[in-house]
């Protein structure tokens, strides 16, 4: 496939408006299209995503990424005011790149442990002329102790990286006090909220809300967990590389 044979993404202005009270401007729509093309082409060399159909890409990558930063259907207000945001385990750039395109005033850090993916994103950021986003190669367990990253972020995003307790351990140490962690999930139950509580408390956070919603084209169930950092995270977290996933907090 070449650029000229890649289909156009749908615009979905009405759905954006109805679900997020927002619509992409022309420049943002253009960047979404460019991102889609970069990913379809990049997929020929790298295994970036199995979602390449234009409607599916719109729903599962673009809409889903932005719905996470819009609890109760409104964008988190301070995201438009120089907020420092990190996307942990960004893979091909989700949810971080669509968020950076939408919130041009936020400063986005895209973290992944895989060099190949980060190289792809670096190239994409140049092509997209997105100057408010930068990349970082590393493991969440390590950068969580790095003074440049620990307690530096207003918002931490994490989608499809691990179970919720692990996501909490990766995100909370990076947040400033008062910062917000957004954990993107598919299915989620109240039981799981109960059993996550203790892990979040140990990390200095509280579960502020859990939102259930359905995606607008295929009505697939999604959840977002919003954790607020209320006190300092103990220095022992995050634990060493691999430990959080081997032995999730409970």
Which chain residues interact with ligand SAH by CB under 6 A? 88-91, 94, 111-114, 117, 139-141, 159-161
Q: What is the 3-class SS of 144-194, one letter each residue? A: CCCCCCCCCEEEEEEECCCCHHHHHHHHHHHEEEEEEEEEEECCCCHHHHH
- d(CA 246, CA 242) in angstroms, rounded, equals 6
* Residue whose entry in the numeric block shows the structure tokens 């979905």: 12
Closest approach of ligand SAH to the CB of residue 94, in Å: 4
CB 87 within 8 A of CB 110: yes
Closest CB to ligand SAH among 24 and 91? 91
Q: Is 103 helix (H, G, I), strand (E, B) or coil?
A: coil
Q: Which residues pair with 107 in a beta bridge?
A: 84
> Which of 41, 243 has the CB closer to ligand SAH?
243
Question: CB–CB of 50/60 below 8 Å?
Answer: no
Task: Report which of 182, 190, 187, 183 is spatially closest to residue 221, judged by C-alpha positions.
Answer: 187
- Indicate the residue among 70 and 161 with the shorter CB distance to ligand SAH: 161
CB of 43 to ligand SAH, least distance (A): 13
CB of 131 to ligand SAH, least distance (A): 22
Please identify, using beta-carbon distances, which residue of 139 and 145 lies nearer to ligand SAH: 139
Cα(128)–Cα(164) distance, integer angstroms: 32
Minimum CB distance to ligand SAH, residue 1 (Å): 20
Distance of closest approach, residue 89 Cβ to ligand SAH, in angstroms: 3
- Residue 93's CB: how many other CB atoms inside 10 A? 33
For the bound state, the minimum distance from the C-beta of residue 42 to ligand SAH, rounded and expressed in Å, comes to 13
Which residue lies nearer to ligand SAH by CB, 213 or 230? Answer: 213
Assign 116 to helix, strand or coil.
helix
Query: By C-beta, is 107 or 139 nearer to ligand SAH?
Result: 139
């Amino acid at each position: 496939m070449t650029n000229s044979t890649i289909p156009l993404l749908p615009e979905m202005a009405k759905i954006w408006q109805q679900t997020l009270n927002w619509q992409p401007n022309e420049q943002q729509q253009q960047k979404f299209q460019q991102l889609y093309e970069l990913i379809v082409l990049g997929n020929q060399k790298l295994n970036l995503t199995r979602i390449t159909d234009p409607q599916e890409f719109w729903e599962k990558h673009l809409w889903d990424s932005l719905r996470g930063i819009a609890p109760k259907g409104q964008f988190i207000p301070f995201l438009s005011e120089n907020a420092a945001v990190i996307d942990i385990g960004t893979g091909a750039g989700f949810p971080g790149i669509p968020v950076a395109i939408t919130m041009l005033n936020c400063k986005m850090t895209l973290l992944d442990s895989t060099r190949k993916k980060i190289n792809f994103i670096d190239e994409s950021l140049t092509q997209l002329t997105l100057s408010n986003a930068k990349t970082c190669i590393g493991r969440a367990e390590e950068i969580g102790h790095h003074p440049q990253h620990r307690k530096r972020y207003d918002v931490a995003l994490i989608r499809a990286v691990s179970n919720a307790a692990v996501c909490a351990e990766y995100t909370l140490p990076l947040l400033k006090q008062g910062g917000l962690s957004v954990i993107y999930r598919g299915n989620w139950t109240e039981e799981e909220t109960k059993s996550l509580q203790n892990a979040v408390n140990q990390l200095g956070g509280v579960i502020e809300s859990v939102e259930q919603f359905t995606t607008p084209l295929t009505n697939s169930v999604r959840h977002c967990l919003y954790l607020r950092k209320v006190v300092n995270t103990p220095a022992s977290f995050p634990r060493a590389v691999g430990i959080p996933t081997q032995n999730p907090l409970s």
